[in-house]
Amino acid sequence: MKRELDDEELKRALGSLRNDDPAPEWMRERLREILLQEAQRKEQAARPVRGKALAGRPWWRSRWVVGIASPAVVAAAAAILALRLAGVWGPALSYARILEPVLLATGSPECVHLVLNVRERPDEEMGFIVPTGESVRAEAWVRWPASARSAGADAGQRSVEPGRLRVEKPEWSYVADGKSVVYFWPRQNQALRHPVGSARFEMAWPAAWVEKILEAPEGAEVIETVEGDAAVGTPSRLLLRWDAPALRGRAPAWFEDYPREVEIQWDARSKRLMGFRRWVFVDGKRIAVTELAAIEYLPSIPDETFSISLPEGVRFVELIPAPPEIDALGPREAAEFFWKAAIAGDWETVRYFVPNPKLLDWLRDKRPVELRALGQPEKSGNYVGVFIPYHVKYAERGGRTKHRIAMRNDNQFGRWVVDGGI
Amino acid sequence: MKSDEEPIGPAGGPSPSEIEALLGEPLNALHKVLKRRGVQPADAWDIVQETMIFAYRNYDKHDPTKRLSAWVVGIGLNKLRDFRKSQRLRWGLPRLFRRSDKEPLLERDVKRQWALPPKETPEQALLSKRDLRADPLERLLRAEAAERLDHALAQLSEECANALILHHVLGFQQAEIAEMTHAKVSTVAMRIQRGLAALRKLLTYEDVEDLL
């Protein structure tokens, strides 16, 4: 007899399609070409006088220019195309072809254990770099999500075994045990629990690093390629460089915010990634921010590695339910509501906007007394939320802060909450 | 608003990084909606192009405090509605006035097929899958279950199917969907509830088991 579906199962089935069917790469390429053509058309339309020759014809359409230039242009275009096809020139074409087997080979093992030296804060999640800071050690164990067949009464029924991940930094632990994801800060005895689906495997799954480069070749410049020798055992190497994106006044914080270089080394025989280094350029100085110190590809890692026991009295960072009118506030309204509640000492209301107990304690200590100005929200870089400039006066020693509060609403309530910048 | 750090795009259009932003998550979301709504690849490609060009030309109208993907999908849904209307109109007209009489349908579709890329090689197809480790049998069963789900979605009203896809598949909030579809939040919530109830009648647990 057929079983009826309940709402939760149906929602899960729909939700499982979330990662299916991303737009194919050819579509992205074609659209990029179309939009760039559109940009050129706009540019030409906006340049009415300067491009005209005396005869009233644009200079680039003058028969002299066309007559002289066209054979040269055709020859140059043919040469460029030939070079690109030969893989000699054109980073997107040539290095994608080099990296594809590396991606396949690096993604094939079940588990990986690795050690990274990273120039990051010891208590912050991976990726938020501090080029002027000390290097810290991060150790990670990963078991990639795999399909498995369950035994017993449900024999034959397929189930997907969620992946496992553990990342340890000196003052931060991140554990995905297949049921949930736990962030733990031992110094503050503070923890955060997220659903298992939010596990960020890309932090420590080497194939994801390669895939990320393959997925975003735009603007990449190939600095060096070295082909290894399988007989001698020398690794192959690829070094790429990117320029910094526009940050609109925000200080760079993530690796992708800087002009940067990435080097990948792989074993010439197995094609597996064996080395990974990243640098950023600050004031013309090349600073190493990530170095893979050790890596081992393993057939399995015991379950105990992916469990964490939290100490007594641990405080959880969590959003408490709020009245619907709070959830419905826009980012600027939410920031204003938050500051006014903090100034009035209404800590219950402040808690709706501040999930982090440590930040709440800090606010209670400093005690804001006056909101002097609040600007308009703006997006910047890859940040999921918005930044809002503000000017607040604090009670303690008459201190004042002019800064940009970071607000995000990618939580279960869709509420704009404070993410930083205080 | 543009900063001093980045060269402003031609004639005040989006900058290169903003074009890349359009081609990231918004394009993926739009592609997923069209795929789930059963739009044929050649038509989907037309709608995607029209949407992206419209979004490019009107980029300054996007409210930066709102998600770019929500704005782009909203435009895409309007284009999809226009497309469906044009289809109804084309097939509803007497044969004499059909556009296909001037330009044979077959020829037109062949022309459009030329706009599509050549089929992927097996290696490219393998590489284009995000989950490189998925078992081929599992992929097939999942694809079949997704097809059954799509088939059931196609039997719902346009509004209910769109609301379900936008909320449960793409993860947009009800308020965002309300804005995209020019409806009240309560209407969106009701469409989602009705859509779920209708899908429950059309599908059994076994139909979608491979997606769970």
Q: pLDDT tens digit string along B62-97?
A: 888 888 889 999 999 998 888 887 776 544 444 444
Confidence of residue A45 (pLDDT cuts 50, 70, 90): low
Who's near A78: CB < 8 A, 6+ residues apart? none
Shortest CA distance from A158: residue in chain B: B210
Phi, psi of A334 (to 5 degrees): -65, -40
How confident is the model at residue B3, as a pLDDT? Answer: 40
- Which of chain B's residues have a Cβ under 8 Å away from the Cβ of A21? 31-32, 35-36
Taking only the tens place, the pLDDT of each residue in A89-110 is 344 446 777 888 898 888 888 8
Which of A24, A43, A249 is the closest to B128 by Cβ?
A24
What's the gap in Å between the CA of A145 and the closest CA on chain B?
9
- Burial letters B188-199, b for 16+ CB under 10 A, else e: bbebbebbbebb
Among the ranges given (A83-97, A179-193, A248-262), the one the predictor scored with the smallest mean pLDDT: A83-97
CB contact under 8 A, A38 and B28: no
Q: Greater confidence, B126 or A17?
A: A17
- Which residue carries 């760039």 as its tokens? A36
The answer on pLDDT for A82 being more than 60 is no
Taking only the tens place, the pLDDT of each residue in A356-407 is 888 888 888 888 888 888 888 887 666 678 888 888 888 876 566 778 888 8
What's the gap in Å between the CA of B22 and the closest CA on chain A?
10
Interface A-B, measured as beta-carbon pairs within 8 A, has a size of 171
CB contact under 8 A, A17 and B149: yes
Strands (E) located in A186-284: 190-195, 221-226, 236-242, 260-266, 273-282
The answer on pLDDT for A251 being more than 90 is no
In the chain, the amino acid numbered A196 is V
- Which of chain A's residues have a Cβ under 8 Å away from the Cβ of B13? 38-39, 42
In chain A, pLDDT over 70 holds for what percent of residues? 80
CB contact under 8 A, B146 and A20: yes
How confident is the model at residue A279, as a pLDDT? Answer: 93
How confident is the model at residue A1, as a pLDDT? Answer: 60
CB contact under 8 A, B65 and A23: no
Is residue A381 within 8 A of residue A257, CB to CB? The reply is: yes
How far is residue A191's CA from residue A182's CA, in Å, rounded to a whole number? 7
How far is residue A55's CA from residue A62's CA, in Å, rounded to a whole number? 9
How confident is the model at residue B13, as a pLDDT? Answer: 63
Helix (H) or strand (E) holding A63: helix A63-85
| Number of neighbouring beta carbons within 10 Å of residue A14 | 24
CB contact under 8 A, B49 and A34: yes
Among the ranges given (A63-67, A161-165, A321-325, B88-92), the one the predictor scored with the smallest mean pLDDT: A63-67
Confidence of residue A216 (pLDDT cuts 50, 70, 90): low
What would the two tokens of residue A405 be?
């509060």
Q: Where are the alpha helices (DSSP H) in A194-330?
A: 206-215, 324-327
Who's near A228: CB < 8 A, 6+ residues apart? A234, A235, A236, A237, A266, A267, A268
Residue A95, burial from CB neighbour count under 10 angstroms (0-12, 13-18, 19+): buried
Nearest to A347 by CA among A332, A365, A372, A323: A365
The CA R_g of chain B, rounded to the nearest whole Å, is: 20
Is residue A278 within 8 A of residue A260, CB to CB? The reply is: yes
Which residues on neighbouring strands pair with residue B62, listed in sequence order? none
Which residues on neighbouring strands pair with residue A161, listed in sequence order? A146
What's the gap in Å between the CA of B101 and the closest CA on chain A?
30
Helix (H) or strand (E) holding B16: helix B16-22
Cα A186 to Cα A61, A167, A314, A360: the distances in Å are 69, 14, 9, 18
Whether ipTM > 0.90 holds is: no
How confident is the model at residue B106, as a pLDDT? Answer: 38
**What distance lies between CA A342 and its chain's CA centroid?**
32
Task: Note if the pTM is more than 0.90.
Answer: no
Number of Cα atoms under 13 Å in the Cβ half of residue A55: 8
What's the gap in Å between the CA of A8 and the closest CA on chain B?
10
Confidence of residue A75 (pLDDT cuts 50, 70, 90): low
Q: What is the mean pLDDT of chain A?
A: 79
